[in-house]
Structure 1
Amino acid sequence: MARQQAELAAQQQRVETSRAAAAQLIVQFAEQDAPARQPNVERLTGVEQIREKLAVLTHRVRAEVMTFAPNGAHTPESLRAAEPLDSELLGRGVRMRTVCLDSVRNSPHTVAYAEWLAERGGQVRTAPSLPVRMVIVDRESAVVPVQAEASCEAAVVLTGQGTLTALCALFDSVWAAAADLGEVRRRDGSGFSAQEREVLRSLYRGMTDESSPSGWAPRRAPRAGWPTT
């Protein structure tokens, strides 16, 4: 038991370290003129540009799409809109891995869609919290919002090798610690799930319910985990 606890603590520390590194990267790109000063950075302004770029990247994907989708439960409409492209990618043998918030477990249609994906080779896991909305294609391009609270206003496409290495490490560490959507959530000795512990930590830090992991589901998300409005 002590060994398992030590391994869990080490894994959590790796996740936190990766999250901190990714957060620092995103701060660097949050400045309005940052893309003009840095190579391997493309700035996207407005939801239409973001959608168009995601469509280009996903249609060109060769091997893998990795997504952080911290937007809460999906609507039935957004899931239906995502189905044709998801089916086409999976049919081409593209590996699709998505991490959502634990709160999506309370959405029957989201769970049903995850099961549909799993039947075709896709994978969906959940975590108590996610550091940022993000889509990584073939470990070569990453799309992240300039500001997490306004992800439709502006985003950047990052292609630098060092940046992608850090973001892929972040995804891999969060993925390793996340639970399969079909898995029963474990509770600690106090009877709390990981999501409940995260909410308590959020409240302790003085966050509002609206910004806590369980309550944040601001906009419906289409394919690739990006909101539509």
Structure 2
Amino acid sequence: MKKLLAALLILGPIASSASAHEVWIERDGNAPARIYLGEPAEAVPENGDPEFPKLKSPMLFAGGTRERPLPLVRRANHIEAATPDTGDLRLIDDAVFEPWAGEDGKLQGVVYNARAGRTETRHGLDLEIVPLTANGDSFRVLWQGSPLPNARLTVIDPDRWAKTHVANDQGVITIPARGKGRYLLSTSHDVAGERSLAGKTVASTIFVSTLTYTAP
């Protein structure tokens, strides 16, 4: 899979791990949702990705209700949660990887956002891939509710074939259908400015966001 944050590879093992990994949600009908940390274009190892232990306490919620995160159960290679029968799921985790020093010596960090489902046309995350119509194939990349022009979007199809597309100046992109099964879309956005991550003050933050859905 193409690394969304490949520019960080020169910065050392922490940055390299952050660049190579994403957090995503999988959901099949009424079965519990499954949260993964790893490389979504690759099969998930039976005992989890080597970095999976760093995924400790993601906040998973249904709809836009952040105040009532869903209870989680840890499994061998994923984290599991019973979920409502309807509505999309969203996730936030800002404590997977410790901040690292960039080329300028200032600390950088990463925040993961994830969503499962394309039934809702509203947003509920800082960085989110939102369908223009319920269950449609056209999406808009939003940063804090505003379109992100020319966002780069990597699409992994049901055969785990990955391709990167570029959204238009309104942050909109249409994803070609490539058969039935699960699709994973991912994007990232670099944000300058101090914020607290993992108990440290970072000078800039990389937001990474995924969306998964199943095409019938």
With CA pairs under 8 Å and 6+ residues apart, which has the higher RCO, 1 or 2? 1
Task: State the TM-score, normalizing by the size of structure 1.
Answer: 0.26
Higher CA-based Rg: 1
Please state which structure has a larger fraction of its residues in helix.
Answer: 1
Please state which structure has a larger fraction of its residues in strand.
Answer: 2
Task: State the TM-score, normalizing by the size of structure 2.
Answer: 0.27
